[in-house]
Amino acid sequence: MILKVVKYGDPVLEKEGQLVTEFDGKLNELVENMFETMLAEKGVGLAAPQIGQSLKLFVMDCSGGKEPKDRIAFINPIIQETKDTQVGDEGCLSFPDIYFQVERPRIVTVTAFDVNGKEFTMNLEDLAARCVLHETDHLYGKLFTDFLKKLSFLKRDKIKKKIDKKIKYGEWD
């Protein structure tokens, strides 16, 4: 089932999610629906608060549905270590058509649980590392627009105006 993606302005996006405690059929269904929604929206990552569920959980697939091994659910993830830096364009399904450069670590080690409650650790690089960091931020109510302050005034002002305009004209919905 494709779920509705919450857009910027909804308070759920700026709230810390709860830890997932029940690894049951309901969780499995939620995760499956999140994968389906992410694929339909052409995203590479989707966090639970983005579908209105204030939980520490996100799904990722940097292959866009092409590689089954890249289809990963991260439940209660914790970033253990980060290395290097990368700068690249970033977007978010909760901010349609908004993209700007964000500097983040290039390598990340993350520990999380799978849908069966089994703990795992992964080392990820480049786009996958960027995605894990962006989505983990969502679980703490942190949005990528926090990184706007690192841009020049002109760039920041242009993006802020574009966001304000979209909200004013109801283009988010």
**Nearest to Ni ion of 59, 75 (CB atom):** 59
User: CB of residue 94 vs Ni ion: minimum separation in angstroms?
Assistant: 6
- Catalytic option among 14, 41, 103, 135: 135
Q: State how far the Cα of 150 lies from the Cα of 90, in Å rounded to an integer.
A: 14
User: CB of residue 91 vs Ni ion: minimum separation in angstroms?
Assistant: 8
Q: Does 34 bind Ni ion (CB under 5 A)?
A: no
> Which tokens go with 148?
């706007």
List the one residue from 5, 34, 75, 92 that touches Ni ion (CB under 5 A).
92
Question: How distant, in Å, are the alpha carbons of 49, 117, 149, 164 from that of 59?
Answer: 12, 15, 27, 28
For residue 133, give the 3-state DSSP assignment. helix
Stretch that binds Ni ion, among 7-15, 30-38, 85-93, 109-117 (CB under 5 A): 85-93
Question: How distant, in Å, are the alpha carbons of 33, 66, 88, 103, 115 from that of 51?
Answer: 10, 23, 25, 26, 18
Q: State how far the Cα of 82 lies from the Cα of 79, in Å rounded to an integer.
A: 8
Task: Tell me, yes or no, if 135 is annotated catalytic.
Answer: yes
Q: State how far the Cα of 71 lies from the Cα of 164, in Å rounded to an integer.
A: 34
**Nearest to Ni ion of 92, 112 (CB atom):** 92
**Nearest to Ni ion of 106, 134 (CB atom):** 134
Nearest position to Ni ion, beta carbon? 92
Q: Does 131 bind Ni ion (CB under 5 A)?
A: no
> Which tokens go with 104?
């983040």
Active-site annotation, residues: 135
Q: Which residues bind Ni ion (CB under 5 A)?
A: 92
